Chains A and B, each alone.
Chain A
Amino acid sequence: MASNPFSAAAVAGAITQPPTGRDYLVDRSFRSLALVGAVLIIALMAYILYEIGGQAWPAISKYHIDFLTTSAWNVQDGVFGILPVIWGTLYSSLLALLIGGFFGLTVAIFLSQDFLPPRLAFVFRTIIEMLAAIPSVVFGLWGIFVVIPAIRPVANWLHESFGWIPFFSTSLSGPGLAPATIVLAIMILPTVAAISQDALNLVPYRTKEAAYGMGATRWEAILKVMVPTAAGGIFSAMVLGFGRALGETMALAMLIGNSNTISLSLFSPAKTLASLLASNFPEAGPIEVEALMYAALVLLLITLIVNIAGIGILQVTQRRISGKS
């Protein structure tokens, strides 16, 4: 296959020899296969963007950027704006990331840093991963029948006592941001926990040894060495969790109250892009469908931007940490 410039070095009975033609063939086929896969994924992405963009085009040319900056959604008058929906999407996802990310990382630390015997840690991990398998609609039902009644007294007490704080400025009458966020946080927790745990497990044993060898306590070793060393993977876990929260549909449609309001209050109802799409599509006429396609495109772009920004930040910090600049 490839020419061997060192064939003169081959003496009778020599063990070393160049890779055979078959070795090269396998090598090359694998590379082409990987390339085809990568190209297919990019093509699929582009196709989806193109298709949704095409369907959204009438709406884009009709409402322009106003679609993103106005608040009315009135099918009769043909007036559409999704500012509160974008707000609701980002606000609920950020809150969920804050809660789910914190607890997810805590769980990951708890399961990876010898707090539990390995076998028990494995059992725990499996249970947490099973959370990810619970259907969204079940989470929604659980939210309606368990979470909302459970937090309502607390929420209303907070509103009555600390109503001057913007986060508590309304009372919770039923569905709203708070129950939606809590359920969303639980839904992204397995993602964050599992990927963070993998990242923490990848920290070399000798790094851990170095930390304890310096006389670090367990918490010093975890917070000053283990977590920073695994920061890249933990950050990826957060980005994936955030992405999952942005796109979550069913549970949110059931729990968030579907109201076009922009409020900092945790107890006010809201609406997210995904829940808007889910609840409005079934009965939408042609004009509303165009607007919904525009909204879908916005959701797609937000998700893409979050992921690309995440990758970018990750690469910059990784380069700084590993020193391979």
Chain B
Amino acid sequence: MTATQTIGSAASPKGAAAPSPAADVAIDCRVEKIFYGNFLAVRDSHVPVQKGKITGFIGPSGCGKSTVLRSLNRMNDMITGFKLEGHVHFMGQDLYASYVDPVVVRRYIGMVFQQPNPFSMSIYDNVAFGLRLNRFKGNLDDKVEHALRRAALWDEVKDKLKASGLSLSGGQQQRLCIARAVATEPTVLLMDEPCSALDPIATRRVEQLMLELKDDYTIALVTHNMQQATRVADITAFFGVDISQGGRTGYLVEMGETKQIFEEPREQLTKQYIRGEFS
């Protein structure tokens, strides 16, 4: 309960938040080490996610983009053996403080997963799920339609809202998951390669949605698509893999304005990666 109130009150623009870092940072993520069991997956990554902006995470496969993203709303807590050293501050609160309930965290920080994962219930119920969870009292139909329109899915499903979410194609399922996540309008939205299963048109519409949402919300986006990063991300974080200590450990190579990362990267590694010299 304490956690609800603290985060809730801090959500107001000038809430009396605890010593917060730069006021324009929504999630201040300072990972020292992330372990899965004994495996050091990510080290030394300071990734401040700016309020009202889209932060893109790019980097080769297995460098820990999903791992870092998922630790921003404590999704990794479900994995046995997961351990985070360092801290993640949201609205001036340490998300990993012992009194913070991950359930509360996830209500404010929503997530779209790398794999589409709709519930085996109707399309309508899928989108209404979060609204009902939050005891939304307004017009459910309107909210569901709005969310489906935002996810560029409305036209395809408006005549079969009662059909199962699992009856949709892979790309449609992914957009359904996007609709489900945006329906509750979480303060921060974490998106893990939301467009990897989408065709170019749906991809554009989802990108449009992200640009639309960022006026009011904060987005962190993992993508393998360099063009997508340049199109939508304001800030880009580039992760690399360090194999010097034996294992494959991911770390933040550099982070900055997207334009700077792509046009004049400071690090040689970044330059090579965005030129497509390795993946």
Contact = CB atoms under 8 A, between A and B. Distances in A.
A304 B78 CA distance: 43
Q: Which 4 A-B pairs have the closest CB atoms?
A: A323-B167, A323-B164, A215-B107, A215-B106
Interface string A284-325: 000000000000000000000000000000000000111111
B39 to A, nearest CB: 19
A205 B163 CA distance: 23
B118 to A, nearest CB: 7
Contact of A206 (B104, B115, B180, B184): B115
B117 A207 contact: yes
18 contacts: A206-B113, A208-B78, A210-B117, A210-B180, A212-B102, A214-B106, A214-B130, A214-B133, A215-B108, A215-B110, A215-B130, A215-B134, A216-B103, A216-B133, A320-B164, A321-B164, A322-B120, A323-B167
A216 B132 CA distance: 10
A207 B164 CA distance: 14
B217 interface: no
Nearest to A220: B133
A158 interface: no
A135 interface: no
B121 interface: yes
Interface in B36-81: 73, 75, 78
B273 interface: no
Interface residues of A, number: 24
B125 to A, nearest CB: 9
A216 B110 CA distance: 11
Interface in B81-120: 102-108, 110-111, 113, 115, 117-120
Interface string A186-227: 000000000000000000101111111111110010001100
Contacts, number: 79
A229 interface: yes
Nearest to A203: B120
Contacts of B129: 214, 224
Contacts of B78: 208-209, 212
Contacts of B104: 215
B177 interface: yes
Given A213-B113, A215-B106, A324 B177 contact: no
A228 interface: yes
A228 B102 CA distance: 23
Nearest to B105: A215
A323 B133 contact: no
A208 B79 CA distance: 12
